[in-house]
Amino acid sequence: MTKRPNPFGGSGRDAKRAFLQNARKIQVQQPSRQGALDNNVSKSSEAALPTSIDVERFLQSRAFEIGSWENAMRTSKNAVVQRAFQSLPRHLRRRAASHNARRLPARLRAKARSEIVKDKSKSHTIRKLRGFPFQKRRKLVFISRSDMLAKRQKNGKWLETHVWHAKRMKMVERWGYKLAEKPTEKCFRAAYRATFSDQGCTVHDSSYFTHVSLQGSQEELGRVLNLLMPILKPSPTALRFMAGARHFENTIYWPERDLSGIIGPVLGFWSAHTRDTPTARQVMLRLHPSIIKDASKAIRQAIALVSPAKGHTSLTVDKINVASFDLFGAQACATLARSISPVKNAFPGQKAGWQGLMASMPSQIPSASILGLRIVDPRLSFPPKKPADSASCQPRSSVDPEAASLPSFWDLETVNSLSKPRYSKAELDRRRSKMNMPGSSLDAQETDDRLPVLVLQRSLGEGSSTPAFGLTVIAPSAFARPLLQSLVFCQPRPIGQREVTMQHFESGLPAFPHDWLGTAAGEQEMARRAETIQLKHARTPRGKRAEYDRLGVTMPFKPDWPALLAVGNATPWLAPRSIALKLVEALDGKPTDKADSAKRFDEVLKNRKLLATGVCQARLIPSGRGVPKDRASVFVGDGQDAKLVGFVTSGSFSLSHGRGRAICMITLKAFLDAHASKNAQFAYRNVTSRDRHRAVLELA
């Protein structure tokens, strides 16, 4: 294939020059014969000159020259269509230079700005304002950035760190928020190694959890908590928790309901004792967003039961606007110690707790312990530096109530005053520009913000073969973004919802609400997952998707609990591990802790409908090399006598064990029968297979 011939000849540069010269050329009219005779008239003859000028005739005679001149100006302007950024060599051109003058050299920016202004009304403003009435156009043109971002949160509320996560992760809508599902880079195994190895840690923004504060007398708060959490032991009113130095993890129920009134898990902690108000206390409850509506109703019902007379209760409920970050891994303490700087005038117990935190790993810190700190604005010490005195510190081996005492965290006025930073980043940068040594940290002044921060020791699957230990940091929400930037600068592994579920799965712990079927939140999550899987299955061609009709699977996208329970339209209720063990003890005739608990479990055993609709969580361990997948069926028995007893909620290849494992839900009656028979054999079958594989079942 040959090139198109050049009509002007020569090289490309010569052709371009000839093209421009031709565009600028002014056409000249050829004179007529009459015009030539007129030119031969003697110019010195005054008689030949007209006494007056006919304007119309004069313009008509010059019309060709005027039109040729205007045409030359128009063609020469249209021929030179080169923009400012096009005058640069190709290796210096940038994609954004067409609309961003700062991407050009300084000598071309003035010309580029004039070109952008001319284009903006056509390419940007008109396109955005098309279809809007004139009254709304002014509002749309002059809208502020904060208002524009607020309007974009109609489908889901944004966290303080949303913009940071949106640039690096896939965002999804969950529980009324826009949350990070998974990073865009391949890091699934890297996140596992950071969580369970001796090096590294992960960081997850869990600010979507709701923190509710209950205030009142210690006696009334204890009665409310006992109504909300009546089953699991130890009770939230135990002495180990009421001192305020440890947090508790329990399950919240509807007040004065049977075991079927389960709502979901909850984490809470008491405020430390103070000499000023020895009887007035506060309790903080950390609730998942999927259960916040039901939990709020249950709390109000419990308060009404404790104080039946209206207007005669001292209990108040407030929602605290705080942010939280979960750090899991061996280097979680070192990462946190490098990211924040406590104030110098801290209590002796807090100083000792901070020094012990710097020299420890999360697994070495006392279980469920709490450390309260007042830190300076993390922007002052950015970028964070390694602490110099961490080598001389000793690990923390005991729980000190003074270390958890932080009155400013429980003061609503103090927390509300920190709803916005006192100084903006530009003001801090101006202070930093006046320093003699570039890159050094700013000295904290008296007017700088001091943040109350709580550090909670957390564990997943403690007591299992592969537990995960970490920290949960709770701080004012206005400083979530600078705190995350300081944490990420220490190179932890940022993770999303997928990796959080993986941490629970590898620890052998059911993830909420993913593996909590039998609760309202678990049923909603199961319906959402079933809809997603069904839509994906419908998009897949028939030759590349599983044919469930031929495999004999009646409900491949959602477990068929009504058919399994065979109790009409009754929904299953979840019996946690401790309740299932208590039922086993009650079945064996062993004494329980309290008489009311024994009576409650005896009622369950006698209530056939309640016993038939109960389900419990269990770990499914294949006996061979198979890998159980999500939605797999669980059977008990062998051969033709096998009976369907449950379904798999989370199944995959376990990186911790090097084999397939799963979290499943089985009926409570099947578990009790298997415990009574002592030699029950379990098996599973994936939805894409006809084969059954033997497995071992243990309570999760």
Query: Which one has a higher pLDDT value, 291 or 36?
Result: 291
Between the alpha carbon of residue 381 and those of residues 338, 443, 589, 652, the distances in Å are 10, 8, 62, 43
Looking at residue 498, its pLDDT comes to 95
Looking at residue 275, its pLDDT comes to 59
The segment with the largest mean pLDDT, out of 49-63, 100-114, 117-131, is: 100-114
Res. 40: pLDDT tops 60: no
Least Cα distance to 331 among 167, 492, 130, 128 occurs for 492
Cβ contact 680:641 at 8 Å: no
Minimum mean pLDDT range among 336-350, 424-438, 679-693: 336-350
Beta bridge partners of 281: 216
Minimum mean pLDDT range among 127-136, 272-281, 648-657: 127-136
* CA–CA dist 206, 444 (Å, integer): 28
Least Cα distance to 571 among 530, 616, 529, 517 occurs for 517
% the chain with pLDDT above 90: 36
Looking at residue 358, its pLDDT comes to 78
Please compute, for residue 546, the number of CA atoms within 13 A of its CA located in the half-sphere on the CB side. 16
The segment with the largest mean pLDDT, out of 87-91, 278-282, 332-336, 439-443, is: 332-336
Looking at residue 205, its pLDDT comes to 96
Packing angle of the helix pair 480-489, 332-339 (nearest 10 deg): 120
Q: Where are the beta strands (DSSP E) in 499-598?
A: 573-575
Which helix H or strand E contains 322, and what residues bound it?
A: strand 322-328
What's the angle, vertex CA 320, arms to CA 317 and CA 324, rounded to 5?
A: 140
- Taking the domains of the chain in order of start, what are their residue ranges? 210-320, 520-699
Other C-beta atoms lying within 10 Å of the C-beta of residue 207: 23
pLDDT band at 74 (very low <50, low <70, confident <90, very high): confident
Distance of CA 209 to the CA centre of its chain: 11
Looking at residue 596, its pLDDT comes to 53
Looking at residue 123, its pLDDT comes to 44
Res. 125: pLDDT tops 60: no
Res. 137: pLDDT tops 60: no
Rounded mean pLDDT of 349-359? Answer: 77
Give the pTM: 0.78
Rounded mean pLDDT of 233-242? Answer: 87
The segment with the largest mean pLDDT, out of 41-55, 285-299, 306-320, is: 285-299
Q: Where are the beta strands (DSSP E) in 95-244?
A: 169-174, 177-183, 202-205, 210-217
Query: Which one has a higher pLDDT value, 664 or 440?
Result: 664
Which helix H or strand E contains 302, and what residues bound it?
A: helix 292-306
Rounded mean pLDDT of 233-245? Answer: 87
Looking at residue 44, its pLDDT comes to 52
Please compute, for residue 118, the number of CA atoms within 13 A of its CA located in the half-sphere on the CB side. 8
Beta bridge partners of 453: 373
Res. 90: pLDDT tops 80: yes
Least Cα distance to 502 among 363, 655, 362, 696 occurs for 655
Burial per residue of 298-331, b for 16 or more beta-carbon CB atoms within 10 angstroms, e otherwise: bbebbbeebbeeeeeeebeeeebbbbbbbbbbbb
Task: For residue 438, say if its preceding peptide bond is cis, omega within 30 degrees of 0.
Answer: no
* CA–CA dist 468, 509 (Å, integer): 10
Other C-beta atoms lying within 10 Å of the C-beta of residue 608: 10
Least Cα distance to 478 among 461, 459, 453 occurs for 453
Looking at residue 571, its pLDDT comes to 75
pLDDT band at 456 (very low <50, low <70, confident <90, very high): very high
Alpha helices (H) along 97-155:
106-120, 126-129, 134-141, 145-151
Looking at residue 599, its pLDDT comes to 56
Please compute, for residue 82, the number of CA atoms within 13 A of its CA located in the half-sphere on the CB side. 11
Dihedral Cα 106, 112, 114, 118, nearest 10 deg: -160
Q: What is the pLDDT of residues 149-197, one digit of tens each?
A: 888 888 889 999 999 999 999 999 999 999 999 999 999 999 999 999 9
Looking at residue 203, its pLDDT comes to 96
Sign of the alpha-carbon torsion through 62, 64, 70, 76: negative
Q: At 615, is the secondary structure helix, strand, or coil? A: strand
Report the CATH fold assignment for 210-320. Alpha-Beta Plaits (3.30.70)
Distance of CA 191 to the CA centre of its chain: 16
* CA–CA dist 336, 365 (Å, integer): 14
Least Cα distance to 563 among 641, 466, 667 occurs for 667
pLDDT band at 46 (very low <50, low <70, confident <90, very high): low
pLDDT band at 632 (very low <50, low <70, confident <90, very high): very high
Establish whether domains 210-320 and 520-699 are of one fold: no
Minimum mean pLDDT range among 124-133, 479-488, 612-621: 124-133
Between the alpha carbon of residue 534 and those of residues 3, 397, 529, 549, the distances in Å are 54, 52, 9, 14
* CA–CA dist 491, 667 (Å, integer): 44
Looking at residue 138, its pLDDT comes to 47
Looking at residue 534, its pLDDT comes to 93
Minimum mean pLDDT range among 133-137, 232-236, 361-365, 562-566: 133-137
pLDDT band at 418 (very low <50, low <70, confident <90, very high): confident
Looking at residue 80, its pLDDT comes to 66
Task: For residue 289, say if its preceding peptide bond is cis, omega within 30 degrees of 0.
Answer: no
Looking at residue 407, its pLDDT comes to 82
SS3 labels along 480-500:
HHHHHHHHHHCCCEECCHHHH
Percentages helix, strand, coil for the chain (3-state, rounded to 5) are 40, 20, 40
% the chain with pLDDT above 70: 84
Res. 352: pLDDT tops 90: no
Q: What is the pLDDT of residues 583-608, one digit of tens each?
A: 777 766 665 555 555 556 666 666 77
Minimum mean pLDDT range among 109-113, 265-269, 535-539: 109-113
Cβ contact 642:179 at 8 Å: no
Least Cα distance to 488 among 202, 197, 167 occurs for 202
* CA–CA dist 587, 28 (Å, integer): 114
Mean pLDDT across the chain:
83
Res. 515: pLDDT tops 60: yes
* CA–CA dist 669, 614 (Å, integer): 7
Burial per residue of 332-341, b for 16 or more beta-carbon CB atoms within 10 angstroms, e otherwise: bbbbbbbbbb
**Domain 520-699 is found in CATH 2.40.30.110:** yes
